[in-house]
Amino acid sequence: MYVKVNGFGIDYSIEGPNTGVPVIFIHGFPFSKEMWRPQVAEFKKDYAVLSYDVRGHGLSDVGNGQYTIEYCVDDLFGLLDILHIPKAVIVGSSMGGYIALRAVERNQDRFIGLVLCDTRSEDDSNEVKIKRATDARKVKIYGMKKFANKFLPAVLTENNVHKKTEVWRHLHDIIERNSANAMAGMMIALAGRTNSTAFLPSIKIPTLIMVGQFDELTPPSCSISMKEKISDSALHIIPNAAHMSNVENPEEFNKILRKFLKSIE
């Protein structure tokens, strides 16, 4: 479904029973809501599941390609208002984790639970900012297919990369369908995001942190650091998974998430 949020077109999907507290899934860069397919299929049996394409991704509008994480948080709150969702559990992966964490920082009262997956609270180092700027230029020159071929080996386990598994093909297809200009714009937005580390001790809602055992982009050390700062939090390291833990080991991911959701019902 497609709706205008703050004048910007956002594509979203709601599945499952219209009872209880909704669970919102926010995808990572440079993917779309389709990366949550294993979770939507599982949790729509028991929960109202909302997934949506962050601006510039998937079927949402590209606009002028000038984004900030703050705009993405505005979109989230606007979507919740339009759908009359006063409170929800929010689940964010990587970039989605940045959006989720910043949303809780801006208005914690809108959420009853927070799930941070393969993400971190810090902003980019200077080295990473420079790399994002370089990649933003290259993606507009060489396109999304070449970018996908370079990006996926950095976020998947060796098995999925070398065997070009269904996981590889599915994620590669998602990336290729995205606009190069939009992805370049989001890289700049990611480089300009705020540092939320100082806010972590102020989080008062139940928080689950999950990270892939072999995640190199946001390694387990980042999750351990967040867990130490958030009082009501739990940490689980997902085996046999890298940065895309929800698709590389969905069985373990879903089992842990379901237990968390039941604990806060």
Kind of pairing, strands 23-26 and 88-93?
Answer: parallel
Q: Is residue 70 in some structural domain?
A: yes
Output the six-digit token pair for 68: 């900030």
Classified as helix, coil or strand, 257 is helix
Predicted local confidence at residue 218, as pLDDT: 98
Residue 151 reports pLDDT greater than 90: yes
Predicted local confidence at residue 265, as pLDDT: 80
Q: Is residue 183 in some structural domain?
A: no
- 123's CB contacts (< 8 A; 6+ apart) are 193, 194, 195
Output the six-digit token pair for 26: 């926010």
pLDDT tens per residue, range 127-136: 999 999 999 9
Residue range(s) defining the domain that contains residue 40: 2-124+195-263
Q: Is residue 182 in some structural domain?
A: no
Residue 18 reports pLDDT greater than 90: no
Q: Is residue 184 in some structural domain?
A: no
Q: Is residue 160 in some structural domain?
A: no
Predicted local confidence at residue 72, as pLDDT: 98
Average pLDDT over residues 33-61: 97
pLDDT tens per residue, range 230-259: 999 999 999 999 999 999 999 999 999 999
Q: Is residue 135 in some structural domain?
A: no
Q: How many domains does the chain have?
A: 1
pTM, rounded to two decimals: 0.98
Residue 15 reports pLDDT greater than 90: yes
Output the six-digit token pair for 252: 């373990």
pLDDT tens per residue, range 155-179: 999 999 999 999 999 999 999 999 9
Q: Is residue 175 in some structural domain?
A: no
Look up the CATH number of the domain holding residue 109. 3.40.50.1820
Kind of pairing, strands 8-15 and 2-5?
Answer: antiparallel
pLDDT > 70 in the chain, percent: 100
pLDDT > 90 in the chain, percent: 97
Q: Is 7 left (phi over 0), alpha (psi -120 to 50) or beta?
A: left
Q: Is 58 left (phi over 0), alpha (psi -120 to 50) or beta?
A: left
- Amino acid at residue number 116: L
Residue 20 reports pLDDT greater than 90: no
Residue 21 reports pLDDT greater than 90: no
